[in-house]
Structure 1
Amino acid sequence: MTPSAILDDGDVVYEPKTDDQPSPKSAILHRHIHHNPITVVGASGNYLELSNGQKILDATGGAAVSCLGHGHPRVREAIIQQMNNVSYCHSLFFGTLAGEGLGEELVNSTGGQMSKAFIVSSGSEAMEASMKLARQFFLESTPAQPRRTKFIARKESYHGTTLGSLAMSGHLVRRAPFEPMLSDGVSRVSACNAYRGVREGEKIEQYVARLAQELDDEFVRVEADTVCAFVAEPVVGAALGCVPSVPGYFRAMKDICDKYGALLIFDEVMSGMGRTGTLHAWEQEGVVPDIQTIGKGLGGGYAPVAGLLIGHKVVRALEGGSGAFAHGQTYQGHPIACAAALEVQRIIREQNLVENVRRMGGILSSQLKRGLGEHPHVGDIRGRGLFWGIEFVRDKATKEPFDPKDLVAMGIHEKGLQPEYNLSIYPGTGSVDGRTGDHVLLAPAYNTTESDIKLIADITVKVIEDFFAEFHA
């Protein structure tokens, strides 16, 4: 099977059309116009049923989304019940019990650290909203700070596909076609990536101090009183392949933000809501963000839903100012999406699934490192909870990446889909510099069992071993 053109969420390598590659008969503009995706005709638990008869073990929950697997009866019933009550109402005029229930569930889950929730339909929308909310916070602070319009984010990051969220992102390939349209009000500093960032002989404390100084210098360079916020993923997902921060990193970054009066925004769309072993990824960092975006694990894929969790300081500014967030969307707080997300979160809490994420994550980590730790083309295995990435290198000693044209990550993904494996692995690229670097992600459902995890690990090891046994650059 020849690797196709789509490498990652939003990342496309354009492949020329040839005479033996006729246009498919589809009314949908798929991610690649010359390739129809395989059709899923059914899904249950951890498995996807395909139109060609295959049954695929979904080891990634799509893009780390299906945290309860597929077809959970309680979530299905909650959606049906909400449809029987009300399917839609405009949030400018009305509220719903589902929306209020979800907000209360989310705020309570932070132990009082966050004040309010704002519910939208996608992670990109959540990032857009967080940018506008940060700006409005400074306009309504006392005294007002209207010069604050800029943001500092990180290289090799991904925060969304809309123009604002893409401008926040540092992933070069995804930005490239739209660069002239993107805001120049976002600058970037280095990501916290110990595998590629720590210098020879450098201690972790020294690495943190160096990154903190880089952020401090960037505040000074762009004029600190023009910066709204520093934006980062606690565990970098698709762009770097499940890279966690090193101990003390976010405490140091928060101190720099406080020094210059800027907000701290955590993008937890992919790494939050239990995925990394605590319900909120910031619980492992020793800091609380001022604004937090959430998404994928919020609703588990049962409805398009994402949102913000907003700190007390930001809410107090609105309460003392206009009293309103100058932002709204047609499907904001959609009742069915809220009902689905609320039931997903109740199940996670009632069944103590975050604890299961930690236990199963430990097993997955040990199994992957045992099977692939010495592989000559596996450079790093990293992650937290049930969020693990494997980075591939041409040379293990020098960490030299493969040429992007080799399509290593996508090749491994497509290898996994072959009938002898029947495994879906999430491919990603750009883990070195936004252009080069291949990695894959594993993100099983929170309710997976030990036997599920061992099966996923065994097949993943086999797929990678067989791919490289046949690989010719």
Structure 2
Amino acid sequence: MGSFGPKNSLLYKNFERHPAAVIKYGTGIYLESEDGRRILDATSGAAVACLGYDNHEVQKAVVQQLMDLPYCHPGFYKAKVAEDLADFLVESTNGYMSKAILCGSGSEAVEVAVKLAKTHFAHLSPPQLERTHFIARTGAWHGATLGALTLGDFRGRKDPFVDLIPRTASRVSACSTYRGLRKNESEEEYVRRLAQELEDEFQRVGPHKVAAFVAETVGGSASGCAMPVSGYFPAMKAICEKYGALLILDEVMCGMGRTGTLHAWEQESIIPDIQAVGKGLGAGYGTISAVLVNSKLVNSFQASGKSFAHGQTYMAHPLAAAAALRVQQVIREENLVSRVRKMGKYLEEKLKSRLLSHPYVGDIRGRGLFWAVEFVIDKKSKQPFPSSLGLNGRFHARGMKKGYEIALFNANGTYDGYAGDHFLISPPYIVSEADIDNIVDRVSRVIEDTFAELTTSAPWEKLMGTVTG
């Protein structure tokens, strides 16, 4: 028998290597580690902590709810704070969405959205039971559960489980001008081409079999803030309406103010049928996500007189709802969405002026306080670095070191699902111009020193041989 005591018992995604920083507490946009580092969180965790780490108003709301009612079974009882949050969310859409389902994680919200779409068609008279297929996009990330993996295209996370997931989804191209727009093609022509591709996929699958087209309004971690061009979503929705399918928008990462409007679709001249939100909804003060349902679908559900066969233990959890409601109230009271737009323009200006001239920075894209920096070997060909190099992980690791102390949300796969390196910068909404100057300075040093080390620690030609050879 071995001796008892601490053994690093918590299992992380890498079985052997654990996160390098043990965090004691957070203040504002900084995290304080046990070993004395003061880490500037330039990404709000995973675009979550939009109010920073010590908002006293939210903390008080959570403590009060903990004292009043920490939990009640959502199938037996109502929690007023959950109903108040749902009312807030519906009102925030000007009533276009008329019901909210309060869930736990973003993956869970996506699962609920898929089940709602299937339920909608099953409850029609006559029922359309063949509508079980979903069209998603290349380079998307919709979550880690099996149903969400069906929709997603983040290959490194999907491939190990591909034999387990349903074969109920197919993919069309994402809207990404950096890699998708052809030479001499206008954005209007690009939109028409993508719309035709979606229409062709409806025809290939069978229009009567498609339940919904699913897309991130602004691309998330896998695509690195892939941006929709003007007219893209109206064209996609028109195709969905032509064939009687639904439009599901995943705003788990890009929504709730992150891109400069509370709902990212407000900038796209469309209204989704179903919308998933999370992350910034509770800002990390509670584990919560939500699914918002268009009033037209709700009317259809009510007309059928049938129920939605879904329920989970921690739905509409009072503590999480109390946190999210106060978070959203603070965002409204302090006009933080307007601040996101203002600070976002400043962040864009500083990032582009400082980094675009770097020989290995291929693109800087985003909206609001949601930006990605993508790296390439050659700017003209947009050739990615070999995935074996682990470039994005090197950026993150260096950023966490003493002397840099900046958290960067690193990811890969922007090129083909495997190769293609980028990181996200998505600071809390409370960020100041001075904070942004600090972020850009630290990011620049991380990039410059990472490449300096790479080019001196091994022959550069050999390192690039897997791509250029």
TM-score, normalisation: structure 1:
0.94
Q: How does 1:193-272 map to 2 (within 5 A)?
A: 193-272=176-255
Matched residue, 1:59: 42
Distance (Å, rounded) in 2 between the aligned partners of 1:170 and 1:220: 22
Matched, 1:85 2:68: yes
1:314-341, CA deviations, whole angstroms, 9 ceiling, x for partnerless residues? 1111101134221010000000000000
Matched residue, 1:332: 315
Distance (Å, rounded) in 2 between the aligned partners of 1:243 and 1:252: 17
Q: How does 1:107-118 map to 2 (within 5 A)?
A: 107-118=90-101
Q: How does 1:25-424 map to 2 (within 5 A)?
A: 25-37=7-19, 38-424=21-407
- The residue type equivalent to 1:56 in the other structure is I
Displacement of 1:455:
1.1
Displacement of 1:460:
1.0
Give the ranges of 4+ consecutive aligned residues of structure 1 lying more than 3 Å apart after TM superposition. none
1:105-153, CA deviations, whole angstroms, 9 ceiling, x for partnerless residues? 1011111111010000100000000000000001112332111111000
Q: Secondary structure at the match of 2:163?
A: helix
Q: Secondary structure at the match of 1:389?
A: strand
Q: Secondary structure at the match of 1:464?
A: helix
Displacement of 1:254:
0.3
Distance (Å, rounded) in 2 between the aligned partners of 1:334 and 1:446: 25
Distance (Å, rounded) in 1 between the aligned partners of 2:44 and 2:206: 42
- The residue type equivalent to 2:280 in the other structure is G
Displacement of 1:347:
0.3
Distance (Å, rounded) in 1 between the aligned partners of 2:118 and 2:400: 45
Contact 2:343–2:432 (Cα < 8 Å) also in 1: yes
- The residue type equivalent to 1:153 in the other structure is A
Runs of 5+ unmatched residues, structure 2: 1-5, 456-462, 464-469
Distance (Å, rounded) in 1 between the aligned partners of 2:199 and 2:10: 47
Matched, 1:446 2:432: no
Matched residue, 1:12: none
Q: Secondary structure at the match of 1:134?
A: helix
Distance (Å, rounded) in 1 between the aligned partners of 2:361 and 2:24: 34
Compare 36-45 and 329-338 and name the one that shifted more: 36-45
- The residue type equivalent to 1:244 in the other structure is M
Displacement of 1:433:
1.1
Displacement of 1:213:
0.4
Contact 2:410–2:422 (Cα < 8 Å) also in 1: yes
- How many residue pairs match? The answer is 450
Matched residue, 2:466: none
Matched residue, 2:459: none
Displacement of 1:224:
0.6
Q: Secondary structure at the match of 1:266?
A: strand
Identity %: 50
| Aligned-residue CA RMSD (Å) | 1.0
Compare 35-44 and 251-260 and name the one that shifted more: 35-44
Distance (Å, rounded) in 2 between the aligned partners of 1:35 and 1:174: 18
Distance (Å, rounded) in 1 between the aligned partners of 2:429 and 2:320: 20
Distance (Å, rounded) in 1 between the aligned partners of 2:335 and 2:238: 33
Runs of 5+ unmatched residues, structure 1: 1-23
- The residue type equivalent to 2:289 in the other structure is A
Distance (Å, rounded) in 2 between the aligned partners of 1:416 and 1:66: 19
